[in-house]
Amino acid sequence: MKPSGMASGNELVLYGFLSLVAALFVLVTGPFGLVAIPFVLIVVGFLKMGADSGAESTNPVNCAGCGAPNDPGSEVCRHCEEPL
Ligand SMILES: [Zn+2]
């Protein structure tokens, strides 16, 4: 596919479709929809970030000696070498 103009045909169709869905949503729900769309996106984004970080690694372990955050798998503190 060759780029023509600012956006490709696929992108224009996608943006048009999303805009149409958003416009219809606002028409149905009224002004509340204008708030609901970004609100839902933000909430879903935060949930997704929490799920991603939870899947990759657990929370850092804080050192009992100096309070520095350490990787969950490490056995001693990387700053003061206190056993975790
Ligand atoms: Zn420490």
Separation of CA 53 and ligand 1 centre (Å): 23
- pTM of the full predicted structure? 0.35
Separation of CA 60 and ligand 1 centre (Å): 12
Separation of CA 79 and ligand 1 centre (Å): 5
Per-residue pLDDT tens over the stretch 59-81: 888 999 999 999 888 899 999 99
Sequence spans of domains, the chain: 9-70
Residue 63 β-bridge partners:
none
Separation of CA 51 and ligand 1 centre (Å): 28
| Helix residue ranges per DSSP H, the chain | 9-29, 31-56
Per-residue pLDDT tens over the stretch 11-56: 999 999 999 998 888 888 888 877 888 888 899 999 988 876 655 5
Helix 9-29 to helix 31-56 angle, to the nearest 10 degrees?
120
User: What 3-state DSSP class applies to 61?
Assistant: strand
CA distance 65 to 33: 50
Which helix (H) or strand (E) covers residue 62, if one does?
strand 61-62
